Amino acid sequence: MFSRISSRGLSLTRAILQQRYQSTLVIAEHNNEKLTPVTLNTITAASKIGDVTCLVAGSQCSKVAEELSQVNGVQKVLVADSDSYKGFLPESLTPLVLELQKQFNFEYILASATAVGKNLLPRVAAKLDVSPISDITGIKDKDTFVRTIYAGNAVQTLKSSDPVKVITVRGTAFEAASTSGGSGSSENAPTVDVKNDKSQFIGQELTKSDRPELSSASIVISGGRGMKNGDNFKLLYDLADKMNAAVGASRAAVDAGFVPNDMQIGQTGKIIAPDLYVAVGISGAIQHLAGMKDSKVIVAINKDPEAPIFQVSDYGLVQDLFKAIPEMTSSVK
Ligand SMILES: Cc1cc2nc3c(=O)[nH]c(=O)nc-3n(C[C@H](O)[C@H](O)[C@H](O)COP(=O)(O)OP(=O)(O)OC[C@H]3O[C@@H](n4cnc5c(N)ncnc54)[C@H](O)[C@@H]3O)c2cc1C
């Protein structure tokens, strides 16, 4: 037998349903096929605050939604599959995030502090008229977050009184959530009429490498100005291939044109925390340290015993790199 639900009952039911979705929305980063690993770290941060709902917005991205629903800690996956989201343009994604916020009243919206997250969330925050909280490295309580300032020279603890907290998360500061053990449900996100006449996705060219991805590699070998030129980076590639390591660089090496800028580690490059970081011919400027000082073990090779990199390194070798690196390569089995 069916009975009528009163309008009061309906709004109560809606409120209860919305309650389930309350707390955190994580914007998942992916390439429509696979989840970007740093999203797993952001999910861990979100789980510290409350229930986790993830948004997968993309074009033909159902595989990512399946992958995400298995991730430990994910309660729900909202899928927005449309050609409008090709290229993950912030102008197209923002109306979707705002619509979700309107419908589900999230208290927190999180993304990784990557190019995608840094592009999208300030726009979302501006539209919601709240302050974005960027690049957090810790969560003290539901309103209080930790982040670094002055290129990592000072640690700031900030309390936000905004009703919705819009946050980017530094992946290296949180463990990755396990990719199994979850049983999140999946459903379509509400359809949003995306009118983006400001930007258009034309295409992308991605660098292909057989080496591990720099942001998630467990071993990184980086070269600096001391490498002298781009050809000499072959010394590092040879060593890296033997150690299954990724290769990074200082900004000086990038600015000098030795290597492309997607290899740059530091304040204005990638922030990484591998198990082992080997700095070769890098002086250890504060802006470089900002990108690697959370590495578990730091090894520095530099011919100048006074180089500041030795102050943060666990192991230091004062030697000419052109002697040290070939010797290391030949001794690694
Ligand atoms: C706003 C701002 C943002 C920045 N962002 C970044 C950033 O994201 N990442 C970054 O790296 N930098 C950044 N920088 C630049 C930074 O300040 C330094 O200039 C840069 O990190 C220096 O790079 P380096 O250590 O390779 O070069 P150098 O400081 O010139 O050091 C080269 C080192 O190589 C050693 N060396 C030379 N020859 C040999 C040899 N044969 N064998 C062994 N050792 C040798 C030298 O002793 C020296 O210590 C930024 C600067 C600013 C102002």
Closest atom of ligand 1 to CA, residue 252: 23
| CA 283 to ligand 1 centroid distance, Å | 5
Residues of the chain with pLDDT under 50: 1-5, 8, 10-22
- Give the list of residues 6+ apart from residue 213 with CB closer than 8 angstroms, or none: 37, 246
Instruction: Find the CATH number of the domain harbouring 167.
Output: 3.40.50.620
Let me know whether 148 and 29 are in one domain: yes
The reply to whether 206 falls in a domain is no
Total domain count, the chain: 2
Short-list 312, 268, 308, 255, CA closest to 151? 268
Residues 158 and 302 in one domain: no
CB neighbours of 54 closer than 8 A, spacing ≥ 6? 25, 26, 27, 28, 39, 43, 68, 71, 74, 76, 77, 78, 184
Q: Verify that 254 and 315 share a domain, yes or no.
A: yes
- Determine which residue's CA is closest to atom 48 belonging to ligand 1: 283
Among 124, 154, 188, where does a domain finish?
A: 188
Q: Are 92 and 126 in a shared domain?
A: yes
Q: 139: how many CB neighbours lie within 10 A of its CB?
A: 19
Distance CA 310, CA 223 (A): 15
CA of 282 to the centre of ligand 1 (A): 5
Measuring from atom 26 of ligand 1, which residue has the nearest CA? 224
Among 172, 188, 204, the domain-final residue is 188
Atom of ligand 1 nearest to the CA of 284: 25
Q: Whose CA is nearest to atom 53 of ligand 1?
A: 287
How big, in percent rounded to 5, are the helix, strand and coil portions of the chain? 35, 25, 40
Which domain range does residue 181 map to? 14-188
Mutate to test the pocket of ligand 1, among 261, 282, 317 (most ligand atoms within 8 A of CB): 282
Instruction: Write down the pLDDT at residue 45.
Output: 97
Q: Please tell me whether residues 305 and 182 are part of one structural domain.
A: no
Give the pLDDT score at 246. 97
State the Cα–Cα distance between residues 116 and 38, nearest whole angstrom.
Answer: 11
Query: Which pLDDT score is estimated for 18?
Result: 45
Which stretches does DSSP call E strand in 97-143?
A: 108-112, 132-141
Ligand 1 centroid distance, CA of 280 (Å)? 10
Query: How far away, in angstroms, is 230 Cα from ligand 1 center?
Result: 15
For the whole prediction, is pTM greater than 0.75?
yes
Tell me which of 149, 215, 302 to substitute to probe ligand 1's pocket, judged by most ligand atoms within 8 Å of the beta carbon.
Answer: 302
Ligand 1 centre to CA of 254 (Å) is 10
CB atoms within 10 A of CB 189: 21
Could you tell me if 218 and 180 lie in one domain? no
128, 219: one domain:
no
**Residue 317 and residue 245 share a domain:** yes
Question: Quick check: is 8 in a domain?
Answer: no
Rounded distance from Cα 287 to ligand 1 centre (Å) = 9
Q: Tell me: do 49 and 122 sit in the same domain.
A: yes
Which residues lie with the beta carbon below 6 Å from any ligand 1 atom? 224-226, 250-253, 264-269, 281-283, 285, 287-288, 291, 302-304, 307, 320-322
Position 58 scores a pLDDT of 96
Q: E strands within the chain?
A: 24-27, 52-58, 74-81, 108-112, 132-141, 144-149, 154-159, 165-169, 185-188, 219-223, 246-249, 276-280, 297-302, 315-318
Residue 330 Cα to ligand 1 middle (Å): 27
Q: What is the pLDDT of residue 209?
A: 83
> Do residues 140 and 239 both lie within one domain?
no
Main-chain phi, psi angles of 162, to 5 degrees: -65, 145
Say yes or no: 72 and 141 in one domain: yes
Side-chain-side CA neighbours of 207 within 13 Å: the count stands at: 11
Q: Evaluate whether residue 198 is within a structural domain.
A: no
State the pLDDT at residue 194: 84
In a domain, 111, yes or no: yes
Q: What is the CA(156)–ligand 1 centre distance, in A? A: 26
Mutate to test the pocket of ligand 1, among 135, 229, 251 (most ligand atoms within 8 A of CB): 251
Q: Best mutation site among 153, 220, 283 for ligand 1, i.e. most ligand atoms within 8 A of its Cβ?
A: 283
Rounded CA gap, 325 and 240, in Å? 11
Instruction: Tell whether 231 and 181 lie within a shared domain.
Output: no
**C-alpha to C-alpha distance for 292 and 278, rounded to whole angstroms:** 10
Give the whole-angstrom CA distance, residue 37 versus residue 41: 8
